[in-house]
Chain A
């Protein structure tokens, strides 16, 4: 099966920048999503990449390198409300999402 790998947990300071990495298997790749999930809540959409490069959306940016099977989510000017899990998900050859286990981001004052 396809594997999505991302760090289990990261800690960052309020106001700082953090980069959350995600690696995936390149076979059958059809796009990569990032979702945010606060504890006890449903995932919500953050970004989508299908071409190489950086997509910027306010404080959040997402990068994709298809040849390397690599993506990252960049969060700038961190706020306490950014404390959440960040889920990386790949669209496979059947156009279904394969999800990583998520990276729990802890923001400290």
Chain B
């Protein structure tokens, strides 16, 4: 099992450009999440999905969009990149809700800089 994979590992964007961060998991997990992590701050939930075809906003969804057409893939789209979106982005998955004590498995992260 590769677990959770993310591409790219690093990216530099100019203000106003768009890009898609890819996330794939091979554990057949229903739940998938996108977080951003800024220096000295906790992980902030951007979007999450409880299964294919179902997505919902997290704490900081503005400026991002997601889709979940398959169980395996959960891409994150940045439209009109802004310097405030400079961050490390983590994708995670879990078999079910964390309310049932299921841990989240994280991908290696994408380090994005917007200049």
Contact = CB atoms under 8 A, between A and B. Distances in A.
Interface of A: 1, 4, 8, 30-31, 33, 41-45, 48, 50, 87, 89, 91, 95-102
Contact of A91 (B41, B43, B99, B109): B99
B41 A97 contact: no
Interface of B: 40-45, 48, 58-59, 90, 97-99, 101, 103-109
A33 B103 contact: yes
Q: Determine chain B's interface SS by DSSP, over half rule.
A: loop
Contact of B99 (A42, A44, A45, A95): A95
B103 A42 contact: no
B55 to A, nearest CB: 13
Nearest to B96: A95
A109 to B, nearest CB: 27
Give 7 nearest A-B pairs by CB, closest first. Answer: A99-B42, A95-B99, A42-B106, A45-B103, A99-B43, A95-B97, A101-B42
Contacts of A41: 108-109
A99 B44 CA distance: 7
B98 A97 contact: yes
17 contacts: A1-B59, A30-B99, A33-B98, A41-B109, A45-B104, A48-B103, A87-B42, A87-B43, A89-B42, A91-B99, A95-B97, A95-B99, A96-B48, A96-B58, A97-B43, A97-B98, A100-B42
Nearest to B107: A42
A101 B39 CA distance: 9
Nearest to B109: A42
B45 A97 contact: yes
A8 B101 CA distance: 26
Given A4-B42, A43-B43, A101-B42, A96 B108 contact: no
B99 to A, nearest CB: 4
A31 B99 contact: yes
Contacts of A98: 42
